[in-house]
Amino acid sequence: MRILVTNDDGIHAPGLDACMRIAQTLSDDVWVVAPEFDQSGVAHSLSLSDPLRLREVAPRRFAVKGTPTDCVIMAVRHILDAPPDLVLSGVNRGQNIAEDVSYSGTVAGAIEGTILGIPSIALSQAFGPTTRDNPSYDTAEQHGPQVIRTLLKEGVPPGIVINVNFPDRPPDAVTGIAVTAQGKRDQNLMRIEARRDGRQNPYFWIAFERRVQNTAPGSDLRALDEGRISVTPLRIDQTDEPFMTKLALVFEHEGEKQG
């Protein structure tokens, strides 16, 4: 089995090495193609106006001056002589749950693999106030291989990307595995932090606030709160079929009135 490993934290991120080690427990044919620099928060963006620069860091390990999406396309369409059988994206430094999924370059790398017809899994390691500066990937490394084996044994349907999040717990403190729905936070934690540079010109940072959240049962948020590994299947097709049906009836009715 050929495995492609990518991430959004960059080619030198400790989580990328953790992901590579996870992949190596599953196969001896592992390739790494990751961004040259940190691409956190770029979502599913493509570099269409800038050239992609490719650098071979080591055998089967490449850095691309681009996004995680660029990396997966570059790997599948240029670097590899045959497509991979699996894409692993991560292990991200920090959780990718609830609304994070929309912004995450880690999830986007797995989405691109899915679009290209390859089973793809995003892996993220949560951290907390005490582990933020030096997050450990031991939990992801110890539990990740079995989670992936189980998913591969079951088979990942076409058009589905799997989002796996590991709790901020030591490996032996994990309380189980939960198959979850994508959660929704009950408040927007983003804020704008205004500062001034040395010349007193204003500049701004998007910042986040940490607050206690009410988490819904069955959600990825609740699973991590309870110390469980969250496994969430996400659809590439984002169509809301119930509302689509309702809108079709509305516009059909409008057409009849105009006719």
pLDDT of the residue at 175: 97
What is the rounded distance in angstroms from the CA atom of residue 110 to the CA atom of residue 162?
8
What is the number of domains present in the chain? 1
Is residue 195 domain-resident?
no
With H, G, I as helix, E, B as strand and everything else as coil, classify residue 117.
coil
Q: How far apart are CA 175 and CA 194, in angstroms?
A: 41
| Cis bond upstream, residue 64 (ω within 30) | no
Helix 138-154 / helix 14-24 crossing angle, nearest 10 deg: 40
The pLDDT value given to residue 212: 58
pLDDT for position 210 = 64
Taking only the tens of pLDDT, the chain with its 259 residues reads 999 999 999 999 999 999 999 999 999 999 999 999 999 999 999 999 999 999 999 999 999 999 999 999 999 999 999 999 999 999 999 999 999 999 999 999 999 999 999 999 999 999 998 998 899 999 999 999 999 999 999 999 999 999 999 999 999 999 999 999 999 987 767 889 999 999 999 999 988 776 657 899 999 999 999 999 999 999 999 999 999 999 999 999 887 777 6
Helices vs. strands in the chain: H and E counts, helices first: 7, 11
Place of tokens 């044994």: 153
Residue 194 belongs to some domain of the structure: no
Residue 210 lies in a domain: no
Q: DSSP label at 129? A: T
How far is the C-alpha of 7 from the C-alpha of 32, rounded, in Å? 9
Report if residue 88 sits inside a domain. Answer: yes
- Whole domain around residue 92: which residue ranges? 2-182+215-258
Task: Report pTM.
Answer: 0.95
What is the distance between the alpha carbons of residues 183 and 163, in angstroms, rounded to a whole number?
12
Retrieve residue 231's tokens: 């496994």
The enclosing H or E element of 110 equals: helix 105-115
Q: Could you tell me which of 119, 121, 123 has the C-alpha nearest to residue 156?
A: 119
Determine, yes or no, domain membership for 49: yes
Between the CA atoms of 7, 10, 11 and 16, what dihedral angle is there, to the nearest 10 degrees? -40
Residue 196 lies in a domain: no
Residue 177 lies in a domain: yes
pLDDT of residue 16: 98
> Tell me, what's the pLDDT at 256?
75
CATH of the domain at 20: 3.40.1210.10
